[in-house]
Amino acid sequence: MQVQIERFVLGPFATNCYVIHDDTGCWIADAGFDPAAMIDHVRALGVTPTHCVLTHAHIDHIFGLDDVRRAFPGIRVLLHDAEAPWLDDPQLNLSAAFGQPYTTTPADEPLRDGQELDLPGGPWKVLHTPGHSPGGVTLFSENAQTAIVGDTLFRDSIGRFDFPTSDQRQLINSILEILYTLPPETRVLPGHMEETTIGREMSSNPFVRK
């Protein structure tokens, strides 16, 4: 079976969370609000996700972590070091500002730039793409010709850089120097809204073009 990547749009921020699975296993990218539909779907597939990889630790990407951990005991949560304290800090993960202070157990493993994750559809290379948040990562699979980019790049837009921990210059650098060096045909699966490709955004993104 070829790798399947399924999108679930969760919660008040319409966060894209992805279930990635093939014959060898299953993993999840991000765990937004109200993940019941995603959990039920994974259960119906009859697979057990082994990892939940976080593109970053903003509230809309982590609020469902407790539910996911309860549903799939032993699942390993991966997050970049730069945001390691965020799961336990409602200010940093922005849940306090949203009015629903949220903390959860720390991640099980740190993500490092350049690391390769041997997960279905992969290997998935971890690319540190900070700017929207300091520990933002992109997961890139040459085999699947796919990049899961979190809130760094969107179809016709880019990630917000007005949060206290954001950095506009870093964000633009991450897009220009890292994402726009991926093959143009790479499918871009963002943290919000519809998918796009690297080539499409390189030529027509209104904010960052190459």
Taking contact as CB under 5 A, which single stretch among the options 39-47, 115-123, 145-153, 177-185 is the one that binds Zn ion?
Answer: 145-153
Q: What is the DSSP letter of 157?
A: E
Residue placing its CB nearer to Zn ion in the complex, 47 or 78: 78
Q: Is residue 30 part of the contact set for Zn ion (CB under 5 A)? A: no
Taking contact as CB under 5 A, which single stretch among the options 23-31, 95-103, 114-122, 146-154 is the one that binds Zn ion?
Answer: 146-154
Q: Cβ(205)–Cβ(164) under 8 Å? A: no
Binding residues among 172-191 for Zn ion as defined by CB under 5 A? 191
Residue nearest to Zn ion (CB): 58
Instruction: Tell me the two tokens of residue 80.
Output: 């970049």
The overall longest dimension of the chain from CA atoms, in Å, is 44
d(CA 178, CA 1): 30
**What minimum distance in Å lies between the beta carbon of 123 and Zn ion?**
25
Q: Is residue 151 part of the contact set for Zn ion (CB under 5 A)? A: yes
Instruction: Tell me the two tokens of residue 46.
Output: 């009859």
Q: Is residue 201 part of the contact set for Zn ion (CB under 5 A)? A: no
Q: Is residue 80 part of the contact set for Zn ion (CB under 5 A)? A: no
Instruction: Tell me the two tokens of residue 206.
Output: 């209104």
**What minimum distance in Å lies between the beta carbon of 136 and Zn ion?**
8
Taking contact as CB under 5 A, which single stretch among the options 33-41, 60-68, 140-148, 175-183 is the one that binds Zn ion?
Answer: 60-68
Q: How many residues bind Zn ion (CB under 5 A)?
A: 4
Residue placing its CB nearer to Zn ion in the complex, 151 or 201: 151
Residue placing its CB nearer to Zn ion in the complex, 60 or 201: 60
Q: Is residue 60 part of the contact set for Zn ion (CB under 5 A)? A: yes
d(CA 12, CA 66): 18
User: Per-residue DSSP letters for 76-121?
Assistant: EEEEEGGGGGGGG-TTTTSHHHHT-----PPPSEEE-TT-EE--TT
Q: Is residue 83 part of the contact set for Zn ion (CB under 5 A)? A: no
Reduced DSSP (H G I as helix, E B as strand, rest coil) percent helix, strand, coil of the chain, to 5:
25, 30, 45
Q: Residues interacting with Zn ion, by CB under 5 A?
A: 58, 60, 151, 191
